[in-house]
Structure 1
Amino acid sequence: MQRRLIASVLLGHYLSAFTALGIPLYLPRILGDLAPGLPGWAIGVLFVLPTLCTALAAPVWGRWADRNGCRLSLLRAHAGLFAGFLLAGLSPNLTVFVLALVIQGTFGGAMAASNAYLSTQLKGSGLSRALNWTQYSARLAMISGPILLGLLTSRGLGINLYSWLAWLPLLAFVLVLALPNDKPGHALDRKQKPPPGQLPADMARLLAVQFLFSFAMVVTFPYFMPYGEQLGIGNDTLIGVLYSLPHLVYLLALPWVHKHQGNVLLPGLALLAISNALQFWSVQAEPLFALRLLSGAGMLLSFVGLHRCLSQRSRQGSAGRLFGWFDSSGKWAGTAAGVTAALVTQTCGIASPFLVACLAAMAAMVMARPLMITSREIPA
């Protein structure tokens, strides 16, 4: 029964993640058809608009989930994505399309909602492994989505692609309907809850580590293609493979890392810092394959370590609120990383985001060190 529950949540999350993560790559082309002559900065704003809306809404939906149930919140997330994508596919003009993006970001948030629901059904190491698998489904969506949707856009599908994709989160909605409601025994006593708007110092530290780690990952994404070209890689396909290589490491190595009992957060952040530093100093393309594998190892270990810390603290705060803040911190980090990448590349060169990522990973290591001490005091 538990395996079927986890499988349903993960499949539903993959369907929604495939929908949300697969299409942004083709947003400039879609906007070119919908609103010809739209300035480049406006495309960038619309690119991050759903992420910004999710960052703002996630804590609110987290509190709502604690009052009304995490399963109901998960249904809301899939339904919100369905409504946003359906409206986007039917948009007659840019104004309606922007409204659809706002709905998508504000009422979506399937990652936080999936994790919060899982935390009401699982605990300890079981929850930690489930959180790793939700991240697995997100990585799988990030790789498969752009590839499969690229085949559809090459066949002439434009904005109406949103209408086709809308049925995937609707299918996820149907999958969640069959799942049991939250177990009230997992809800914290009100006396243990921190005051509204505040978090325990230990949890605030974990959110800071999550922010720095997410920032370190995302800041190198936007300008990876010109970075590869600067190293002399003239093949777009090869650059795409190198770009996605860390995600492939996560997909292939996660089952093996699950066998490790200790917390691997600090080693993961260290590998991430080292790999980014070496990519910053690289002047040739040959070492890049090995360095991207190293980045993938750092990303995998960091995620597994973060999820272990999070599962150990899930009983220190209500599930919806806890995972809402955790997801929100990652979304804010992604937004800040995009802005930072644009600024530093203009002033310090195309490779500079890798140095910024190295510094962010090192800062995360400093912030994470006390978590390793308290983690040993909290039973898994």
Structure 2
Amino acid sequence: MSRQLTASVLLGHYLSAFTALGAPLFLPRILADLGSAAPTWSIGVLYVLPTLCTALAAPLWGRLADRHGCRLSLLRAHAGLAAGFLLAGFSPNLGVFTLALIVQGTFGGAMAASNAYLATQLAGESLSRALNLTQYSARLALLSGPVLVGLLASAGLGLEMYRYLAWLPLVAFLLVLPLPADAPRIPAQTADVQTSRDELPPDLLRLLAVQFLFSFAMVVTFPYFVPYGEALGIANDALIGLLYSLPHLVYLLALPWVQRRSGPLLPAGLALFALSNLLQFLRVPAELLFALRLLAGLGMLLCFVGLHRYLAALRRQGGAGRLFGWYDASGKWAGSAAGLVAGLACQHYGVAMPFLIACLAAFAALAVAHPLLTRSPETAP
């Protein structure tokens, strides 16, 4: 049953992630279909708006999930994304479309909801592996979503593509509907027990800081990778796209091997990720960029697997909804901040500067994580 349950949750997460990650790339065309004379900067604001809303709402949804059940929260996430996309698909103007993006972000959040529900059904190494797989489905959606949605766009679909994409989270909703409900946390009868249950795990804030810094380091190099590749003399857009995607491909291909490894994967991953970004900042010859992107992918993979092992260990100490709500929110805040910092850095210091910032952020994450390493759950088989 656990395999069938995990497969249903992961497939549902992929469908929602595919929907959420595929459409934003074509925002300029969507705005044109709306006949909007919105300024260029508004594209960036609208791009991060759902992420900001998710960051704000995730802790609240996590608390409600602990009280009323994580499966119910997961159903809400899929239904909320579908509702937001339906509203976007029928938007008559920019105001309604903006409201649709707010609905997507505020009532969506399938990643945190999927992880929280899995944490109520699995434990230990099984949970750690499941968390690796939700990240796997996110990477797969990140690669396949823009490509397949791009085919819809090339076929002439604009705003109406949101109506078709809304069916995917609805299918995800139906996949989760027959799964067993988890038992909500029963309020304690005494104040002392209630206080004990409501306390966050002692290492959570430190882990959230590591997650924030790592997510920031990962995202800050995304927005301006195309002009960075062009500055290295790479004129082929397809090749730049391949180089951009290589770290995600490493995750997809190497995860089965890496998650069987024991030892301190998180510090090794942060060190490799920092090194790869430092070398990319130094603008090595374009011929070596392929190897550096593979190195970045390996570092990213080790970081994710290490972080998920810590999460699985903390799950035994606190409510799943709040834990994964705060964890997801920290990543969303990091992504939003990274987009802003990348724009300012490139404007003032050039397109290579985000890689130096990513290197420094990864080293900062390594320093913050150091106390965790002395009591690492990563050595567990």
Shorter-chain TM range is over 0.9
Report the CA distance shift for 1:362/1:134 in structure 2 as closer, same or farther (over 3 A). Answer: same
> C-alpha distance in 1, partners of 2:213/2:340?
15
1:142 and 2:142 are equivalent in the alignment: yes
Tell me what 1:327 maps to: 328
1:245 and 2:249 are equivalent in the alignment: no
User: 1:215–1:337: 8 Å Cα contact kept in structure 2?
Assistant: yes
What is the deviation of 1:180?
A: 0.3
Give the TM-score normalised by structure 1: 0.96
> C-alpha distance in 2, partners of 1:140/1:103?
24
Report the CA distance shift for 1:377/1:264 in structure 2 as closer, same or farther (over 3 A). Answer: closer
What is the deviation of 1:284?
A: 2.3
> C-alpha distance in 2, partners of 1:171/1:268?
36
- Secondary structure of residue in 1 paired with 2:103: helix
> C-alpha distance in 2, partners of 1:286/1:23?
32
What is the deviation of 1:183?
A: 4.3
What is the deviation of 1:165?
A: 0.2
CA distances 1:129-156 after superposition (whole Å, capped 9, x unpaired): 0000000000000000011111110010
AA paired with 2:120? T
What is the deviation of 1:315?
A: 1.8
- Segments of structure 1 that go 5 or more residues without pairing to the other structure are none
Give the TM-score normalised by structure 2: 0.96
Q: Paired residues, what number?
A: 377
What is the deviation of 1:379?
A: 7.2
Q: Of 190, 196, 219, which aligns to 1:192?
A: 196
AA paired with 1:32? A
What is the deviation of 1:262?
A: 2.4
Tell me what 1:290 maps to: 291
User: 2:36–2:93: 8 Å Cα contact kept in structure 1?
Assistant: no
> C-alpha distance in 2, partners of 1:377/1:53?
33
Report the CA distance shift for 1:187/1:371 in structure 2 as closer, same or farther (over 3 A). Answer: farther
Report the CA distance shift for 1:2/1:239 in structure 2 as closer, same or farther (over 3 A). Answer: same
> C-alpha distance in 2, partners of 1:345/1:297?
26
- Segments of structure 2 that go 5 or more residues without pairing to the other structure are none
CA distances 1:234-264 after superposition (whole Å, capped 9, x unpaired): 1111111100110000000000112112230
Q: Which runs of 4+ in 1 moved over 3 A?
A: 183-191, 376-380
What is the deviation of 1:89?
A: 0.3
> C-alpha distance in 1, partners of 2:115/2:362?
24
Report the CA distance shift for 1:374/1:167 in structure 2 as closer, same or farther (over 3 A). Answer: same
Report the CA distance shift for 1:251/1:164 in structure 2 as closer, same or farther (over 3 A). Answer: same
User: 1:117–1:319: 8 Å Cα contact kept in structure 2?
Assistant: yes
User: 2:65–2:184: 8 Å Cα contact kept in structure 1?
Assistant: no
1:212 and 2:213 are equivalent in the alignment: yes
1:167 and 2:167 are equivalent in the alignment: yes
> What do you get for the CA RMSD once the two structures are aligned?
1.7
Report the CA distance shift for 1:315/1:362 in structure 2 as closer, same or farther (over 3 A). Answer: same
Percent sequence identity over aligned pairs: 71
User: 2:85–2:165: 8 Å Cα contact kept in structure 1?
Assistant: yes
User: 1:270–1:362: 8 Å Cα contact kept in structure 2?
Assistant: yes
What is the deviation of 1:266?
A: 0.4
AA paired with 1:4? Q
